[in-house]
Amino acid sequence: MNNLRKIFSKLGIGIILFIMIVGMSLAHEVFLSSNNILNILLQVSVICIISVGMTYVILTGGIDLSVGSIVALSAVCLGIFIHSGLRYLGDSPSDFSVVILVLCSIIGSILVGAICGYINGFLIVYCKVTPFITTLGMMGIARGLALTLSDGKTIYNFPDALRFFGNGKLELTEQIHIPIPVIIAIIVVLVSYYVLSQTIFGRQIYALGGNREAVRLSGINVNRLEIKAYVINGALAAIGAVILVGRLNAAQPIAGTGYELDAIAATVIGGTSLIGGIGSVISTSIGALIMGVLQNGLTLLNVTSYLQRLIIGLVIVLAVFLDQVRRGEVSMSNFKAIFFRRD
């Protein structure tokens, strides 16, 4: 029995995803079509990348409410960098110079996200402002900067080199192709899995969330470690912004609205503990897939967007509750005592 519990603890989230896929495929015949599966993966890719960054932060025991606004600011900066560069290159720039411009602009955009993450981390560890308040403030600052820099307007028309990151495809056969955003998401997940599970830095991140004082007493600079987690989170949010701009061919100052809640939801559904120290980016990616499958299936079944939010909210609460039960912090005996007690 204990062995079954251990197996379910490790595979539980995957089992839930499998059950949802089977249920949605039985409910609607279009669900398992190749086009719909690719559509789900494409829709989930951005949130998956942002959720991986959120996992780093939550593993340390923190939270980041600013990732949606960081996406918007990074997207606007990317648009400004590229359009400013195109004006500098003149009317007929070479393809090579445009590609170099796009790559440099992407790097600049990622740096913008990383700087936002650094500011969050600095305020949290040195100014002792709680993560909730710090990132709530950054949410307003980054969104305000995005609206100010763009004058509240959407920046349109980008080179094919940038649109490739959002709409490009890797052709495996004439019938099978993988969208570039999905490939980027897979790379981010695999690299982060290696970093968190196979490197000293990753083990320190887990230890920081598990027992901060023990990490500090072991001689590790906990302040620097926590800042790095927020920097990675900001950089991954910016990578999500690059894909988003490439897909839409537009940099919108209102982009990323609500992404912070989706990222936290995917991370929590994946089993990452909100108190830190427990979680996996693989489980987080499965959590993002669960949200994508749920949203896609409900859309196919003509469930209104308002009811979808309600259902997803219930799923989040249920996921947190089950996590508490799994870790032994809540037992069913508590509920028996409440509902079946004798006065």
Q: Hey, where are the domains in the chain?
A: 45-257+273-279
Per-residue model confidence as pLDDT tens digits over 177-210: 889 999 999 999 999 999 999 999 999 999 998 8
* Greater model confidence, 174 or 44: 44
The pLDDT tens digits for 140-168 are: 999 999 999 999 999 999 999 999 999 99
Q: How far apart, in whole angstroms, are the C-alpha atoms of residue 94 and residue 42?
A: 31
Tell me the pLDDT band of 329, cut-offs 50, 70 and 90. Answer: low
Q: What pLDDT sits at residue 199? A: 95
Residues 21-51 pLDDT 10s: 898 888 888 888 888 998 999 999 999 999 9
The pLDDT assigned to 289 comes to 92
Query: What pLDDT, in 10s, does the model give residues 130-141?
Result: 999 999 999 999
pLDDT of residue 343: 52
Gap between the Cα atoms of 58 and 33, Å rounded: 35
**Once rounded to an integer, what is the mean pLDDT over residues 317-324?**
69
For 162, other C-beta atoms within 10 Å of its C-beta total 24
Write the pLDDT tens digit of every residue in 212-252. 888 888 888 999 999 999 999 999 999 999 999 999 999 99
Question: Is the pLDDT reported for residue 1 higher than 80?
Answer: no
Q: Is the pLDDT of residue 312 over 80?
A: no
| Long-range own/partner contacts, residues 132-139 (CB < 8 A, 24 or more apart) | 132/63, 132/65, 135/63, 135/64, 135/65, 135/66, 136/65, 136/66, 138/65, 138/66, 138/69, 138/70, 139/65, 139/66, 139/68, 139/69, 139/260
